[in-house]
Amino acid sequence: MDRKRGRQPGQKIDNRMLGTVGVPILQKMIGALVRSMAEPGLSASMKLKLLRQINELRGDLAKCRIEAARRKANILLAEQSDKPSA
């Protein structure tokens, strides 16, 4: 199979960082932020900021998964159309 350079399934371009961010990295980022919410001494405004960031990353994660599923469906549909009908 021919390997292509660039974005891979499950990755999205993140405007906040250079390059791409994959599903595992997003999951690690969300986990780290959730753990930091449990730290004692955080102000209510900081917890709110963390919660907003967590929700944004969860949205990004869902978009990545949807995009990967869409690409996979397109590949499967392309394979079906390439097969000669019997």
Query: In sequence order, which ranges of the chain are alpha helices (DSSP H)?
Result: 23-37, 44-82
| More reliable by pLDDT, 12 or 41 | 41
Q: How far apart are CA 9 and CA 67, in angstroms?
A: 8
Mean pLDDT of the chain: 80
DSSP symbol at 83: S
Neighbours of 63 (CB within 10 A): 12
pTM for the whole thing? 0.63
Structure tokens at 21: 């961010």
> Is the pLDDT confidence value at 19 over 80?
no
- Residue 54 pLDDT: 94
Q: How far apart are CA 16 and CA 18, in angstroms?
A: 7
Instruction: Grade residue 24 by pLDDT with cuts at 50, 70 and 90.
Output: confident
At 27-69, the pLDDT tens digits run 999 999 999 999 999 999 999 999 999 999 999 889 888 988 9
